[in-house]
Amino acid sequence: MTAVHQSSDRSTPAFGLSVDIDESRWPDVARAPRSSPLCAGVAGFLLRRAFERLPLTVRWGQTPAAGGTGPLLEIHDPEAFVQRIGADGLIGFGESYMAGEWSAEDLVEVLTVLAANATSLVPRPLQRLRGTWMRRHPAGERNSPEGARENIRRHYDLSNQLFALFLDDTMTYSSAVFPRLPARWDDLASAQRRKIDRLLDAADVGPGTRLLEIGTGWGELATRAAARGARVVTVTLSREQRDLAVERITRAGHADRVSVRLCDYREIDGVYDAVVSVEMIEAVGAEYWPVYFDRLAGVLAPGGRIALQAITMPHKQVLATRGDYTWIRKYIFPGGVIPSLRAVRQVAAGSGLRVENVESYGEHYAETLRLWRHRFLDRADGLADLGFDETFRRMWEFYLAYCEAGFRARYLDVHQVLLKHDGTADTEGAR
Q: What is the 3-state secondary structure (H, E, C) of the chain?
A: CCCCCCCCCCEECCCCEECCCCHHHCCCCCCCCCCCHHHHHHHHHHHHHHHHHCCCEEEECCCCCEECCCCEEEECCHHHHHHHHHHHHHHHHHHHHHCCCEEECCHHHHHHHHHHCHHHCCCHHHHCCHHHHCCECCHHHCCCHHHHHHHHHHHHCCCHHHHHHHCCCCCCCCCCCCCCCCCCHHHHHHHHHHHHHHHHHHCCCCCCCEEEEECCCCCHHHHHHHHCCCEEEEEECCHHHHHHHHHHHHHCCCCCCEEEEECCHHHCCCCEEEEEEECCHHHCCHHHHHHHHHHHHHHEEEEEEEEEEEEECCHHHHHHHCCECCHHHHHCCCCCCCCCHHHHHHHHHHCCEEEEEEEECHHHHHHHHHHHHHHHHHCCCHHHHCCCCHHHHHHHHHHHHHHHHHHHCCCCEEEEEEEEECCCCCCCCCC
Q: Are residues 78 and 204 in the same domain?
A: no
Q: How confident is the model at residue 126 (pLDDT cuts 50, 70, 90)?
A: low
Q: How confident is the model at residue 122 (pLDDT cuts 50, 70, 90)?
A: low
Arithmetic mean of pLDDT, 98-102: 95
Arithmetic mean of pLDDT, 380-389: 94
Does 16 score more than 50 pLDDT?
A: no
CA angle 310, 312, 318 (to 5 degrees): 135
- Examine residue 277 and state whether it is found in any structural domain, yes or no: yes
Residue 168 sits in which domain range?
Answer: 141-421
Q: What share of the chain has pLDDT > 90, as a percent?
A: 75
Arithmetic mean of pLDDT, 216-235: 98
Domain stops at, among 94, 117, 134: 134
Query: What is the total count of domains within the chain?
Result: 2
- As a whole number of Å, the CA-based R_g of the chain is 22
| Burial environment of residue 1 by CB neighbours within 10 A (0 to 12, 13 to 18, 19 or more) | middle
Q: How confident is the model at residue 27 (pLDDT cuts 50, 70, 90)?
A: low
Which of the two residues, 360 and 36, has the higher pLDDT score?
A: 360
Does 183 score more than 80 pLDDT?
A: yes
Q: How confident is the model at residue 127 (pLDDT cuts 50, 70, 90)?
A: low
pLDDT tens per residue across span 28-78:
677 767 778 888 888 899 899 889 889 999 999 988 877 677 999 999 999
Q: What is the pLDDT of residue 328?
A: 94
- Examine residue 17 and state whether it is found in any structural domain, yes or no: no
Which of the two residues, 46 and 262, has the higher pLDDT score?
A: 262
Domain stops at, among 104, 119, 134: 134
Cβ contact 400:330 at 8 Å? no
Arithmetic mean of pLDDT, 103-121: 90
Cβ contact 397:405 at 8 Å? no
- Examine residue 15 and state whether it is found in any structural domain, yes or no: no
Q: Are residues 287 and 403 in the same domain?
A: yes
Domain stops at, among 134, 152, 173: 134
Q: Are residues 309 and 404 in the same domain?
A: yes
Q: What is the pLDDT of residue 33?
A: 72
Q: How confident is the model at residue 17 (pLDDT cuts 50, 70, 90)?
A: very low
Mean pLDDT of the chain: 88
Q: Is 171 left (phi over 0), alpha (psi -120 to 50) or beta?
A: left
Task: Give the range among 88-102, 132-146, 277-291 with minimum mean pLDDT.
Answer: 132-146
Q: Are residues 284 and 322 in the same domain?
A: yes
- Cα distance between residue 335 and residue 254, in whole Å: 33
Q: Are residues 298 and 161 in the same domain?
A: yes
Q: Are residues 120 and 229 in the same domain?
A: no
Q: What is the pLDDT of residue 426?
A: 44
Q: Are residues 123 and 206 in the same domain?
A: no
Q: What is the pLDDT of residue 283?
A: 97
